[in-house]
């Protein structure tokens, strides 16, 4: 290898390290601002229960902003996956402020939604701007999108390993260049430490009691994990169902979240509780120590699917945490495993099934709950992954690999439930 080639390699490496640093710092800072703002407006909503009646107005504002200014970015996370698979044009930077403001409005007035979609979209939109700045080709642009997704995910949840793996696993059955792997980890960690630098805290969970690994305990893990997979399937189908229903019944897009807001506000009023509004973090934390009623995870699926299907903005992942944790908590009434372990397994297993990312979710579980729970978490995520059907929350995600080939074989038999 001559000197010129060595210089070229060094320059290229330094350029990518610089790009990772830029994406990590900018995406991490955006997530830090988002987390602080989200906590602030959540406190406003909790202190003013009447504000939920303004949900239709908030929905109309979101609908109008996307209809007149954000048609090119309305697909959200699916646009990132679409551009990764078939690169066309750089994602407009306006995706970041639109989804940020839209999500804050959703949470301020009580919509049931998450936050990872917002962070991932902000990270993806910010990262993709460097495609033009550094004059990158389509192959390098794919790497850029992976960096944006990993930085957004890692910074919003405080899980850098899971963030890097989530971005890679999400697109693993498309072509990935080798350089994307270390760069994904680098951008994820930079984004994570950026949030730490701004002294923005993440929610902490714990599983204090880990039982021994025995056949009877693993038997129960298999049983509950099958239920987690079915919950993931129901969540995905619900979100797509409501989205299709709103799009076919209400022709003018801005009216969809307006009508949806009226129905949601009325529903929350009649059930007499706002625990299913917003992120539901307090309910998730409580699920690790207090058994939940068996219907609570179903209501969260219903309200989140309805909220996102109507056109409100946010994410699906934190509601998936809610669904999994409360289902696991409810199962503790009949399953002889520690409640915190069941809630923790459900927390990541339902997420695994809905996103087809069992490896990232296993790592996330160990990052959040400790490596001691790794065997239980890993088995649960794998089983939920296989039992959650072929449809996930991201319609443009390519689903291949073990699950895909298993389902191809099953389709040769008279089974229609997948």
Backbone angles phi, psi at 299, to 5 degrees: -65, -35
Residue written as token pair 């960096």: 147
> DSSP code of 71?
G
Please name the residues in contact with 147: beta carbons below 8 A apart, sequence gap of 6 or more: 19, 20, 23, 127, 167, 180, 183, 184, 187
342 burial (CB, 10 Å; 0-12 / 13-18 / 19+) is: buried
The CATH number of the domain covering residues in 215-410: 1.10.3080.10
- CB atoms under 10 Å from CB of 302, counted, come to 18
Provide the residue ranges of all domains of the chain, joining segments of one domain with +: 3-197, 215-410
Q: Cα–Cα distance between 360 and 382 in angstroms, integer?
A: 11
Per residue in 176-223, pLDDT tens?
777 899 999 999 999 999 999 999 999 989 999 999 999 999 999 999
Q: Cα–Cα distance between 311 and 378 in angstroms, integer?
A: 34
Q: Cα–Cα distance between 184 and 172 in angstroms, integer?
A: 13
User: ∠ at Cα 143 (142, 147), nearest 5°?
Assistant: 120
Would you say residue 416 has pLDDT above 50? no
In residues, how long is the chain?
Answer: 418
> DSSP code of 372?
G
Per residue in 100-144, pLDDT tens?
999 999 999 999 999 999 999 999 999 999 999 999 998 899 999
Cα 302 to its chain centre, rounded Å, is 17
Q: Cα–Cα distance between 376 and 380 in angstroms, integer?
A: 6
User: Going by CATH, does the domain composed of 3-197 fall within 1.10.3080.10?
Assistant: yes
> DSSP code of 208?
-
Asked if 87 contacts 141 with a C-beta cutoff of 8 angstroms, the reply is yes
In the three-class reduction of DSSP (H, G, I as helix; E, B as strand; rest coil), residue 111 is classed as coil
pLDDT of residue 28: 98
Give the tokens for residue 330. Answer: 């409810």
Asked if 365 contacts 157 with a C-beta cutoff of 8 angstroms, the reply is no
Spatial CA neighbour of 187 closest among 130, 104, 115:
130
> DSSP code of 76?
T
Q: Cα–Cα distance between 146 and 168 in angstroms, integer?
A: 7
Identify the helix (H) or strand (E) that includes residue 395: none
> DSSP code of 311?
T
Spatial CA neighbour of 327 closest among 305, 296, 348:
296
Answer whether 3-197 and 215-410 agree in fold: yes
Per residue in 338-389, pLDDT tens?
999 999 999 999 999 999 999 999 999 999 999 999 999 999 999 999 999 8
Residue 303: half-sphere exposure toward Cβ, Cα within 13 Å? 31
Per-residue pLDDT, averaged over 314-334, amounts to 97
Would you say residue 410 has pLDDT above 80? no
pLDDT of residue 396: 82
Would you say residue 418 has pLDDT above 60? no
Spatial CA neighbour of 315 closest among 92, 80, 131, 87:
80
Handedness of CA 183, 184, 185, 191 (dihedral sign): positive
């Amino acid at each position: 290898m001559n000197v010129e080639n060595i210089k070229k390699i060094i320059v290229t490496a330094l350029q990518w390290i610089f790009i990772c640093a830029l994406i990590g710092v900018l995406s991490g800072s955006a997530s830090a601002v988002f987390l602080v703002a989200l906590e602030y407006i959540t406190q406003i909503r909790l202190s003013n229960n009447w504000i939920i009646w303004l949900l239709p107005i908030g929905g109309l504002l979101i609908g109008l902003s996307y209809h007149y200014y954000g048609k090119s970015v309305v697909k959200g996370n699916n646009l990132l996956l679409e551009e990764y698979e078939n690169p066309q044009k750089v994602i407009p930077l306006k995706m970041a402020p639109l989804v940020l403001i839209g999500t804050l409005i959703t949470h301020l007035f009580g919509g049931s939604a998450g936050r990872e979609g917002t962070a991932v979209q902000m990270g993806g939109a910010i990262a993709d701007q460097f495609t033009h700045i550094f004059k990158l080709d389509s192959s390098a642009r794919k790497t850029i999108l992976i960096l944006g997704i990993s930085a957004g995910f890692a910074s919003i949840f405080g899980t850098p390993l899971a963030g890097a793996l989530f971005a890679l696993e999400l697109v693993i059955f498309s072509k990935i260049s080798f350089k994307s792997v270390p760069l994904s980890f680098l951008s994820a960690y930079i984004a994570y430490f950026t949030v730490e630098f701004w002294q923005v805290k993440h929610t902490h969970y714990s599983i204090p009691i880990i039982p021994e690994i025995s056949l009877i305990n693993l038997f129960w893990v298999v049983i509950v994990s099958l239920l987690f997979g079915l919950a993931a399937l129901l969540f995905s189908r619900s979100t797509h169902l409501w989205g299709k229903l709103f799009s076919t019944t209400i022709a003018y897009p801005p009216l969809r979240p307006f009508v949806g807001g009226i129905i949601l506000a009325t529903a929350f009023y009649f059930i007499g509780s706002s625990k299913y509004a917003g992120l539901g973090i307090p309910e998730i934390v409580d699920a690790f120590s207090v058994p939940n009623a068996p219907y609570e995870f179903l209501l969260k699926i219903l309200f989140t699917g309805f909220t996102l299907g109507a056109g409100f903005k946010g994410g699906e992942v934190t509601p998936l945490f809610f669904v999994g944790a409360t289902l696991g908590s409810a199962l503790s009434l009949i399953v002889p495993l520690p409640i915190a372990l069941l809630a923790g397994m459900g927390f990541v297993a339902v997420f695994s099934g809905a996103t087809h990312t069992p490896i990232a979710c296993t790592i996330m579980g160990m990052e959040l709950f400790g490596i001691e729970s790794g065997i239980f978490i890993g088995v649960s995520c794998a089983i939920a992954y296989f039992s959650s059907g072929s449809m996930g929350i991201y319609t443009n995600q390519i689903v291949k690999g073990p699950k895909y080939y298993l389902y191809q074989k099953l389709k040769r038999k008279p089974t229609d439930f997948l």
